[in-house]
Structure 1
């Protein structure tokens, strides 16, 4: 039984590497992928001064983009190309320059054509900054 799990984890890693090869935007944000697995991704980034808004708070677009990237790694981890259908985000607290933000995406439901994911953004103190929910359409295109 552990063999399929290792294969699934290897597939998720291979998909992540393939996706990162041409993901200039994730590189621009400085996203560091810490772990991927079937239906799962954890990444982090450090909030730079150019990522804050006019009030000194982490720009919502940065938070959204990082959550969207974690969502993408998680929903494509099974080896079928997936695209976002619907996403929502609730901003709960403001991050600030110097914060280390961790984004964790977890699969809640996986069907033949649809996957649903919950994504949490937290700072280095464990404070939840945002909650993101994404629904993905799973195409028939095999990634690997």
Structure 2
């Protein structure tokens, strides 16, 4: 008797574990993944002094990188290696030192070769700091055989 195939949630969790084990950049940023599921990821991090720009606000590159990481977990969660085709970000408010930011990626559309995702970055007060939209190309490579 062959084992049952993994559930979509189990696949998402396995992909997250594999990706995190090889993602030194996300570790350096202190990103903590709270939840993954099919087409979904929520993570958080604390804004540190070394993440600030010359005006004392969170550097846009850090915000972008955190959103891009959540996007990557969400679009790869189905078990097929996916890569970003196009991403955009709108910065709405500045992050400040000590803020706890939540980054939540949700799948808007999933087709055979393309997935579209929206990522919201918000602070501990629920204020939206950025909105990120990503389109991913889904390769035929299975991440978890």
TM-score of the aligned structures, taking structure 2 as reference length? 0.95
What does the per-residue CA deviation read over 1:73-92, in whole Å, with 9 as the maximum and x for residues that have no partner? 00000000000000000000
> d(CA) in 2 for partners of 1:81 and 1:8?
15
Other-structure match for 2:130: 130
User: CA RMSD for the aligned pairs?
Assistant: 1.1
Structure 2 residue runs without a partner (length 5+):
1-5
CA distance in 1, matches of 2:45, 2:108: 24
Counterparts of 1:11 and 1:128, CA distance in 2: 30
TM-fit CA distance, 1:55 = 0.6
Q: Secondary structure at the match of 2:26?
A: helix
> What pairs up with 1:1-144 in 2 under 5 angstroms?
7-144=7-144
Give the gaps of 5 or more residues in structure 1.
Answer: 1-5
- Give me the whole-angstrom Cα distance separating, in 2, the residues matched to 1:15 and 1:68: 16
Aligned-partner SS, 1:126:
coil
Cα distance in 1 for residues equivalent to 2:77 and 2:36: 8
Q: Distance in 1 between matches of 2:142 and 2:14?
A: 13
Alignment partners' CA distance in 2, 1:130 and 1:42: 15
Q: TM-score, normalised on structure 1?
A: 0.96
